[in-house]
Structure 1
Amino acid sequence: MPIQAVEPRRLYRQIADQLRQLIDAGEFAVGDRLPTERELADQLGISRPTVREALIALEVEGRIRIRVGSGIYVTEPPRAEIMTAEMDEGPFELLRAREFIEGAIAAEAALHVRPIDIEHMDDVLRRMEDIPHPTKMTIALDREFHTMVAGILGNAVLVRCIGELFDQRMNPYFERLSSYFENRDS
């Protein structure tokens, strides 16, 4: 059996673990304000998006509360420690994968698209315009649109792949992250 490279734990998970240990050790008590995202990035020598991923993971666990414009505060840990399944991939990796795969599919679909396909896509986009964003309906329509583009190629594997990539967004961690980017008021 050949030796295989071992992939280190995702950096954002390491940062989340470190912050969780500091909270558990009493370095930061309930109600204390953590350093800002920028300060944490500087102290740790890492990028702000990595810090943001770590903070969102802790917020989903119920360990901290991020108050926009106010700061990051330690919260009372949940009584029944409900641990979320550890994610091997972070949401930014999912977004990058979707960008790469869907970009290639869209480029190829543009070469094969028929007028009826364009009509169907326009219909989905029109339906999305009149619905407040984000809601379960807009998410369903967004999924329909993306799988429809893949469907232009007539390849069921690509349609399933796009659907599965899209469905991976439906977890508390990614929902919290997307709330930072998909809120029309922000």
Structure 2
Amino acid sequence: MPLDALRPSPLVEQAVERLRAQITGGHWPVGTKLPGETTLAKELGVGRSTVREALRALAGAGLVRARQGAGVFVVAAEPAEEWSARLRRAAVTDVYEVRAAVEVHAARLAARRRTGEDVAALRAALAGRRAAAASGDAAFVDADIAFHAAVVAAAHNPVLTDLFTQFVPALREGLVDLLSLTGLRARDRNPGDAAHEALVAAVADGDADTAAQVLGRELEDPFAAGGRE
């Protein structure tokens, strides 16, 4: 079916949606080479730069791929699921397993790379976690996550920091639910305090192996860790 000219408004977004509809609707099946930028621009009534940006967005969604010297080809009929959406529907156990891999390595790096400011931030986060023990489960989980975020930040690796940030919404929801279901904090308002203190000490001392071991024990099993957190 022919492409109609676009109406004035965010043109790139309109171009993306129109081209996406052609792909997901089967007009351009997987393996098809898309028309050239000049042809698409003429059919859509936009400039080539708009088409180029739209194709870049479609490539980011996993629908098309440029082949050097050959053109742009359809490689999938449906867009790839966004990482944030996948995390939202993931089981807390799955999130915890990946979180453990990220955080244990971050703890090891933090012990090697920490600065005086990082150590001060960790001690402040530990104090904040202890203060939150008098609050409800949600506030305590927020303080606990803030502590772990401080550990990751001390690793000085922006990719690890971004990964941890992506986990936070799903992680927070899962931990709040877990504490509510288990009633753990009815017995101990500040579970895991000694382990968190030991982690701060290991990072401050530059003891990478101990930092990784302490955090690894905390995160090895989401339900046990939830019981200690």
TM-score (norm 2): 0.37
- Give the structure with the higher percent helix: 2
